[in-house]
Chains A and B, each alone.
Chain A
Amino acid sequence: MAVTKSYHTQSWNTFHENGPFAARLLLSTEHASMHTIPDKLERYNDCAAEVRRLLAEALSAAEGFRAYGSAWSMNNIAHHKERMHFNAMMNIKFEIGSDDVVNGSAYQSNNLFFLECGNTIKEISGFLFNKGKSLKTSGASNGQTIAGAISTGIHGSAVDVGSVQDYVVGINLITGPGPDDVVYLERHSRPALKDSFAAKIKSRVVRNDGLFNAALVGLGSFGFIHGVLIEVEDLFLLKRYVRHISRKDALELSESQDFKNSDFRIEGETDAAGHPLKPYHFKVYLNPYNEQEDYVAEVIYKKTYTSNYPNPIDTIQQALYKDLPDFIARFASTFNRSIPLMLKAMKGTLFPKLDTEVTGTLGEIFWDSIHKGPAFAFTIGVDHSQTSKALDLFVQLARNEGPIPGAMALRFVKASEATLAFTKFPVTCIVEMDGVLWKGSKKMISIEKYSQRLIEVYQQAGIKFTIHWGKTAQWSYPGLCDYMYGNRKTEWMQYRSALLGPEVAKVFTNDFLVAAGLAQFQEGIAADLIASQSVIV
């Protein structure tokens, strides 16, 4: 039998130390040992039963319940003051046989893998590598669990790929204590697995595009994500170049996405006619406090896999003094005018090394990131055609009302079909600033005030924008989600209400959801909204 341990506590914190947040009960479930239940499908179902039991307890105590894995989000989205469930040890992985795939499906069985919620991106990459396969994209690092990654919409900068949730094909949700509360969700327009597979994981099948897209970026509030079916591809290599790029070229490319006719080119990465190729990944780094400085471009091209390439990860790595980020935060809040100088001095550690080339798999290029103390990240999505305007507003705010201790970057991601994906524009330009979490002082704006000013400045300029669900923001800003998502917000709440019902919806509601204005239960939704629909193949 799966075992759940209880930890009574007073506070909980994220990986990046964005709390602490008041907490009372932390639960941690581990599978039955393999010698007790050797069959992994049985162990998976045994764990599902355990989660249903935990949900029954939460319901009977009229308390909230929230699952989390690596706790990488930089806000309280993964937090609940009553019951939190740590699921990082739930990491079974299944291959999919051809017998399990719907006849006429667009998916090939050898590219489908069913993964339990607590698998991290790193674990999945390692597992897939041994099968000759690779994830299509990941975030800039690899520590997030798959359930956390899709729930908040993590993304890389793979221009034509999308975010992590965009290669999810099926979702196994637990929405309550009963056996009927285990649901396997797919799009009816793109079915993948037969009902017989759902029967193996003791789930009822719902094929419904609208429900699937709403649950895809579910903010941890669409039930307990027990497993996801993902589509992967054959192993490939990425060749990464780091080069100077002029501000003009960087912004022109960002807004046009016309790599073919750009003046910016990497030698050897051109077509037969000498035009630059479109890269797999394009990212621009910049120092917001130095107007004169060129930007730094990280450009990555996809290559056929071969085992014959040098190890891309330094064998010997040195670390900064572990107290340095904390020292910087304290120093910055007292002598905030020194921040531009500090950023200049630390450029070598903030930006990738210039004029370097390195080749590796996706898992190697977007490798481990090491915790460096409390951190913040402002991550705003805009349509790529608005890049210059959005960037200038951000930089002006940092200069006029800061400075604040962070460096900036631009990334680009294809639109997601998820109802509340923050990558909602045809190509979303992600304007981001990462840095050391600071405390406000008489001399320095607080992070809360700065978060508010960002929203005000963008709204006053009439820019349509979104904010990454797992990052720093003033989520309680009035009307923020209406501004960002319009009707999609109501649509998302309707699907959630219809799937969960009022009691369970309350269990899966936390302070974050309330602050964002997404918690309100929607009454009177027609039952057929979430009915399974006829498949289209």
Chain B
Amino acid sequence: MIQQSDSSLRVSFRVFFFHQEMLGKACLFSFMFFLASCYSVRLSVKNAAATPDGPIATEEGYWRNKQVNHIDTTLRLGLMNNEVMYLADCREGYHTVEYRVSLGHVLLNAITFGKVRKIKVKYACVKPQNN
């Protein structure tokens, strides 16, 4: 009787852990899916220094010691428009431009047939050479 009970308990646990494992995998998969669907790509020059970000470094990682400018906006394009240009005040050119795409950006673009676009860009300018 006790054995039967143990055995059924074991089965219950197995089923429980199987479901838990599946749930865990599903969560992990979803997490990875959403994580991977949010990405950034950087274009940078090889031979120039970036404008430093002033006396207090506030950025981390790649952007540390670089003066970062942000473009974070939602654009509504006219029916006949499909290109956007942003003019930045980089006296000696762009040092790095990073654009970021998330699943939300893609969905917004899709459901508005490309007419509403979320734009999230970071950029740094080349350090003025004073020469």
Contact = CB atoms under 8 A, between A and B. Distances in A.
B128 interface: yes
Bin chain B's interface residue count.
Answer: 10 to 19
A216 interface: no
A150 interface: no
B129 A71 contact: no
Nearest to A145: B52
Interface string A52-74: 00000000000000000011000
Contact of A371 (B49, B61, B129): B61
A188 interface: no
Interface in A323-347: none
Interface core residue of A88, A120, A129 (most chain B CB under 10 Å): A88
Contact of B131 (A27, A70, A93, A319): A93
B61 A319 contact: yes
B111 to A, nearest CB: 31
B35 to A, nearest CB: 10
A313 B46 CA distance: 8
Interface stretch (A5-13, A100-108, A444-452): A5-13
Nearest to A71: B57
Main secondary structure of the interface of B (DSSP, over half): loop
Interface string A119-154: 010110011010000000000000100000000000
Contacts of B55: 7, 12, 26-28, 84, 86
Nearest to A120: B49
B52 A89 contact: yes
Contact of B49 (A43, A116, A123): A123
Interface in A28-64: 28, 31, 34, 40, 43
Contacts of A372: 61
A123 B129 contact: yes
B58 to A, nearest CB: 10
A123 B54 contact: no
Interface core residue of B60, B127, B130 (most chain A CB under 10 Å): B130
A93 B128 CA distance: 12
A394 B106 CA distance: 53
A442 interface: no
A434 B131 CA distance: 37
A15 B65 contact: yes
Interface in B40-70: 46-49, 52, 54-57, 60-62, 64-65
Interface residues of A, number: 38
Contacts of B65: 15, 70-71, 143, 371
Nearest to B53: A88
B55 to A, nearest CB: 4
Interface in B54-103: 54-57, 60-62, 64-65
A371 B62 contact: yes
A116 to B, nearest CB: 8
A129 B60 CA distance: 29
Nearest to A93: B131
Contacts of B127: 89, 91, 123
A89 B128 contact: yes
A371 B129 CA distance: 23
A78 to B, nearest CB: 11
A438 B50 CA distance: 29
Contacts of A123: 48-49, 127, 129
A373 interface: yes
A27 B56 CA distance: 10
A319 B130 contact: no
A46 to B, nearest CB: 12
Interface in B9-60: 46-49, 52, 54-57, 60
Given A13-B56, A126-B47, 19 more contacts: A27-B55, A28-B55, A40-B131, A70-B65, A86-B54, A89-B128, A89-B130, A91-B130, A92-B131, A122-B48, A123-B49, A123-B127, A127-B129, A127-B131, A322-B61, A371-B60, A371-B61, A371-B62, A372-B61
Interface of A: 7, 9, 12-13, 15, 26-28, 31, 34, 40, 43, 70-71, 84, 86, 88-93, 116, 120, 122-123, 126-127, 129, 143, 313, 319, 322, 363, 370-373
Interface of B: 46-49, 52, 54-57, 60-62, 64-65, 127-131
Closest 4 CB pairs of A and B: A371-B64, A26-B55, A86-B55, A322-B61
17 contacts: A13-B57, A26-B55, A40-B131, A70-B65, A88-B52, A91-B127, A91-B128, A116-B130, A122-B48, A122-B49, A123-B127, A123-B129, A129-B47, A313-B46, A371-B60, A371-B64, A373-B60
